[in-house]
Structure 1
């Protein structure tokens, strides 16, 4: 019987906290990990875009979102490759990050979800909502929240 791989989902957006969480995860969970996928599929990335609509006003927004998604995806793949982690699938999904992450965890039967922490105070967190808090309470797997250490002056 073939051994089933564990699935780890890392939520990434275009900010330093997300990329720090990705690097921290790779450094702590994939140390000395030098696995290159042996399958013949050289396309290890999966990109999915869900359109915002056909109205002209949304065309520019959709183009910008695709550019941002491509930039984030490229940077995430560069970080993974620099750490010799190449068995990676990147999926770009539109929607509320809280719900999207919980849905992806369920869809992939992930055993862990990793998210970064913005370090917002109580008021900002209350107004904006906390993706990590929502996921900790609603994701059907363990949730690890990676906080970037504060730099002491």
Structure 2
């Protein structure tokens, strides 16, 4: 950006994508409403903004499983015995490779949506809790806008699972646009 010259600041838009149709709907909405395709611009080399697609992979976790019958201590409190189940390194590597391939496939699908609208996009895959990683990356790239889809969770599921869009709306350092699919089209 020039210091008072005629060069315009290009908007940096971060769009979070995941495996839901609501996420791809939000991407399509952003492309249709925030970006003009190159065919709409006299100089086709002009970029109208920077679009970055982000996908956050959940980290692999070890699971705790209750084993055996419920036990009772002398104070009549019941409890279950828990054991950690650890996968072998070859299983973890296999799961990680499959997860990375799924992420690449998802982002390729999202990139195809962008190409169909003649908009170029960068792709980023991060590891960690999606809510936190999306907000951290938005701050790191100094995004002008974060676009997230809405899955239309019920109040109970949203309370239990948490909402990525709700978290981002409260914690992101930039404006957040939550795109809800039209009624009757909830994924």
Q: Could you tell me the TM-score, scaled by structure 1's length?
A: 0.83
Conservation of the 8 A alpha-carbon contact between 1:9 and 1:114: yes
* Larger gyration radius, structure 1 or structure 2: 2
- 2:12 alignment partner in structure 1: 7
Structure 2 residue 80 is the aligned partner of structure 1 residue 75:
no
Cα 1:45–1:140 shift into 2, 3 Å: closer
SS in 2 for 1:93: strand
Cα 1:74–1:122 shift into 2, 3 Å: same
- How many residues are aligned here? 146
- 2:91 alignment partner in structure 1: 57
Q: Which has the larger strand fraction?
A: 2
Q: Choose the corresponding residue for 2:162, options 126, 129, 138.
A: 129
Structure 1 stretches of 5 or more lacking a match?
A: 39-43
Q: Could you tell me the TM-score, scaled by structure 2's length?
A: 0.69
- Tell me the CA shift for residue 33 of structure 1: 4.4
Structure 2 residue 177 is the aligned partner of structure 1 residue 144:
yes
Following the alignment from structure 1 to structure 2, what is the Cα–Cα distance between the partners of residues 110 and 20?
20
Conservation of the 8 A alpha-carbon contact between 2:17 and 2:54: no
Q: Which has the larger helix fraction?
A: 1
Conservation of the 8 A alpha-carbon contact between 2:15 and 2:54: no
Conservation of the 8 A alpha-carbon contact between 1:14 and 1:68: no
- Deviations along 1:7-40, one digit per CA (max 9) or x if unpaired, are 11000011101101000110111244447667xx
